[in-house]
Every structure is written in structure tokens, then in C-alpha cells.
């Protein structure tokens, strides 16, 4: 039996061969996946992962593809798109399956008068992807509200608590390549709040996001910001007295500020360009390849290193390279 038939044999959901990945990402970049499955139940996921391991077929999990750059050659294995999408509110908790859009969780929290997810308004992607990345904005992140996460590890379903997720800035145990955990669902701890106050906080954030967003396809911020100690920040300001006062109190050097200071806004390679609106973003002008993006990233890193002696680190992930 060939691999596609074997995979189709074990799950009820759709499985395709040589499926182009670009349309499944916000960057609209990426070649084909050898195999591509859409999964909407834990039972199917377990069966599929068992079969992939039996066939020694590498696999990766895909949410909404808003933080991934796929190679132009695609992924020579199985891409599993999580499409499980149940969501439930109980008392002051929200339980959502991995394929639920974060925006849906934000909307449900608001509708139920639960506070704790306001910061997440406007962040694209799924709950699974957000947990993996410890997504965050405006002072909040997933690490602050996750109670527990249900995962598949070593072919068994387990529940792990917040501490075991090992959340750090834009990372978690799930980003660690040694683990092939699949997030099935999660429980968020929220607090009863005033609906109007929650809504106005969200409106305020939506407005701020709109002002800096670029409408071309992108993956948002390409690089992580630098978190410095107070002493490191002091030293940085001595060397760069033009550093804006606003950032000093957070001991953060935004990657966007470094890139803009290098005069890189609008820098273009092929179809990839440093956004004119938001220097931390690379946008796809229409025909960008992964190679264009990688080359542009390399130019940015070189110039920032040259001017500031700082090594930018990617927030996005490369897959299939
Ligand atoms: C316009 C724009 C704005 C953005 N703004 C922000 C922001 O403000 N803050 C922020 O933190 N991010 C931001 N992002 C980045 C991105 O939206 C988030 O990181 C998001 O949480 C990724 O979710 P996703 O479903 O798209 O994950 P994907 O990109 O599909 O995957 C990301 C990682 O998660 C893994 N993964 C996905 N689902 C699972 C699962 N079920 N089990 C195990 N692993 C899984 C993938 O394998 C991959 O390693 C932005 C992106 C865009 C395009």
C-alpha cells in the first residue's frame, strides 16, 4: 500500500498529497507538503501520529500559519492542520480546542464578561499556535492565564499544568524541537469583569494595532525584542542617546526601532520588503519567495549587528529548510 492510502485508511478527515502550503499561511509563501491532513478530533490525531511514526514520516503541526515561513520546497513529510474548534466557558475559565481561533476565544470571553484576554485582541492564529509561541502583546501573554494544557505526548493524552509548559518570552516547551507534543486543548483562567470596561480596553488596543498594521501578507513581527537588565539599558542609552524615553521604562529595545534606525524601511529583495509602516515586519508584495525573505532577514541582521552590536533573533519559525 502506498503512504497516502495508509494514511487515508486510519483517519476519517481529509488527506491530500502535494498540497501547496502558501494558502495556509498569512505570508502566502511556501511550496507543497508531501502529505497534508486536516484533523478535527483527538481520536483521529492519535491514529494519524501513530501511523506517521510507524511509517517514519516526519510531521509538523500547523495552526493558522501566522508565525511560520515555509521553504519554497515545502515540507517533505506530513503537515497536520488542527481544525478542532470547540469552545466552552465554565465559571471563570475558558476551555478551547487547539484549532479555535484566538479571536474567537477573545470574543467569547468578552461576551461572557470575563477579563484576562483583552491584550490578545487582534492577534491572528489558533489557540494551539498561541500556546506554542506564548503569544503576547500590550503587557499580556498566554503564560499569565494558562491553567492547563491537554497534549498528545508519546502517543498518550496527558494534561500538564502551566509550570510544565515552561513558558518564556515568545516560547514554550512546545517550541522545543526535542518534543513532538501536539496541543489538543487548553484551559484559561479568567476573572469576572465589567463588560463595558473589557470592551473599551479591547477597542483601545484595536485602534493601536490598526495604526501600525500593514495590509500586505506578513507574519507580523519577524524578530524578538531585546529585554535588557536596568544596567544593560543604562549602558545602551549612553551609547545611543537618541533611544526613545518610552521604551526605557520597560527595559526593552524593540527590534523595529533597531531596524528603522538602520534606515531599512522599504528595503526590498525580490517580492519581500521591510514594511514602510512597521519596520519589524517583512511584507510579501505579491510574488515573494522564502528565499527572498531569508536574504532580507540576513541583510537586516547584518546591518543591526554592524550598527548596534546586537544579534537579532527570529520570532518566526522556519519549516521545511
Ligand atoms: C498581522 C500579524 C500580527 C501578529 N501580532 C502578534 C502579536 O501581537 N503577538 C504575538 O505573540 N504574535 C503575533 N503574531 C504572530 C502569530 O499570530 C502568533 O504567534 C500566533 O499565536 C500563531 O498562531 P498560529 O495558529 O498561526 O500558529 P502557526 O504559525 O500555525 O504555528 C506556530 C507554531 O505553533 C506550532 N503549533 C501550532 N498548533 C499547534 C498544536 N496544536 N500543537 C503543537 N504545536 C502547534 C507550530 O508547529 C509552530 O511551531 C502576529 C502575526 C501576524 C500575521
Over residues 63-122, the pLDDT tens digits come to 999 999 999 999 999 999 999 999 999 999 999 999 999 999 999 999 999 999 999 999
How far apart, in whole angstroms, are the C-alpha atoms of residue 146 and residue 77? 31
Q: Is the CB of 126 under 6 A from ligand 1?
A: yes
0.75 exceeded by pTM: yes
Residue closest via CA to ligand 1's atom 6 equals 123
**Would you give the DSSP letter of residue 314?**
B
Q: Which atom of ligand 1 is nearest to the CA of 60?
A: 47
Q: What is the CATH number of domain 214-319?
A: 3.90.78.10
Q: Order of strands across the sheet with 75-82?
A: 15-20, 32-39, 75-82, 59-62
Ligand 1 pocket, mutate which of 67, 81, 165, 176 (most atoms under 8 A from CB) = 67
Ligand 1 pocket, mutate which of 125, 222, 281 (most atoms under 8 A from CB) = 125
Give SS3 for 124: coil
Domain limits of the chain? 3-82, 87-197, 214-319
What are the residues whose beta carbons fall under 8 Å from the beta carbon of 74, sequence distance 6 or more? Answer: 20, 21, 30, 31, 32, 33, 34, 320
CA torsion angle for 105, 86, 181, 165 (degrees, to 10)? Answer: 40
The dihedral sign for the CA sequence 236, 237, 238, 239:
positive
Interval between CA 65 and ligand 1 midpoint (Å): 6
| Residue with the three cell numbers 503564560 | 143
Q: What is the mean pLDDT of residues 194-205?
A: 97
- The pLDDT tens digits for 206-264 are 999 999 899 999 999 999 999 888 888 889 999 998 888 878 877 889 999 999 999 99
Q: How many CB atoms lie within 10 A of CB 151?
A: 24
Domain at 87-197, CATH from 3.30.413.10, 3.30.43.10, 3.40.50.2030, 3.30.465.10 = 3.30.465.10
Q: Is the CB of 77 under 6 A from ligand 1?
A: no
Are both 3-82 and 214-319 of the same fold?
no
How far apart, in whole angstroms, are the C-alpha atoms of residue 154 and residue 49? 9
Query: Is 3-82 a domain of CATH 3.40.50.150?
Result: no
Residues that are catalytic: 170, 221, 315
Nine cell digits for residue 321: 529548510
Amino acid at each position: 500500500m502506498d503512504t497516502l492510502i495508509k494514511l487515508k485508511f486510519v483517519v476519517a478527515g481529509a488527506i491530500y498529497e502535494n498540497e501547496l502550503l502558501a494558502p495556509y499561511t498569512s505570508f502566502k509563501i511556501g511550496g507543497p507538503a508531501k502529505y497534508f491532513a486536516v484533523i478535527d478530533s483527538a481520536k483521529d490525531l492519535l491514529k494519524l501520529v501513530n501511523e506517521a511514526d510507524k511509517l517514519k514520516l516526519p510531521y509538523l503541526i500547523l495552526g493558522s500559519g501566522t508565525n511560520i515561513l515555509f521553504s519554497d520546497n515545502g515540507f517533505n513529510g506530513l503537515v497536520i492542520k488542527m481544525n478542532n474548534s470547540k469552545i466552552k466557558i465554565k465559571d471563570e475559565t475558558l476551555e478551547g480546542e487547539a484549532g479555535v481561533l484566538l479571536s474567537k476565544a477573545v470574543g467569547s470571553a468578552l461576551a461572557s464578561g470575563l477579563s484576562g484576554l483583552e491584550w490578545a485582541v487582534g492577534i491572528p492564529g489558533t489557540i494551539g499556535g498561541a500556546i506554542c509561541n506564548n503569544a503576547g502583546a500590550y503587557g499580556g501573554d498566554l503564560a499569565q492565564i494558562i491553567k492547563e494544557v491537554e497534549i498528545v505526548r508519546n502517543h498518550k493524552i496527558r494534561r500538564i499544568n502551566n509550570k510544565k509548559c515552561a513558558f518564556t518570552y515568545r516560547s514554550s516547551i512546545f517550541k522545543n524541537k526535542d518534543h513532538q507534543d501536539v496541543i489538543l486543548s487548553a484551559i484559561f483562567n479568567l476573572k469576572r469583569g465589567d463588560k463595558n470596561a473589557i470592551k473599551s480596553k479591547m477597542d483601545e488596543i484595536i485602534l493601536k494595532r490598526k495604526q501600525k498594521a500593514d495590509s500586505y501578507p506578513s507574519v507580523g513581527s519577524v524578530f524578538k525584542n531585546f529585554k535588557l537588565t536596568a544596567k544593560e539599558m543604562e549602558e545602551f542609552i549612553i551609547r545611543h542617546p537618541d533611544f526613545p524615553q518610552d521604551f526605557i521604562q520597560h527595559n526593552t529595545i524593540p527590534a523595529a526601532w533597531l531596524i528603522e534606525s538602520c534606515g531599512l524601511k522599504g528595503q526590498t529583495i525580490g517580492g519581500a520588503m521591510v514594511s514602510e509602516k512597521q519596520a519589524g515586519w517583512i511584507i510579501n508584495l505579491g510574488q515573494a519567495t522564502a528565499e527572498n525573505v531569508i536574504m532580507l532577514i540576513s541583510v537586516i541582521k547584518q546591518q543591526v549587528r554592524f550598527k548596534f552590536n546586537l544579534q537579532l533573533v527570529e520570532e518566526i519559525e522556519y519549516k521545511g529548510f
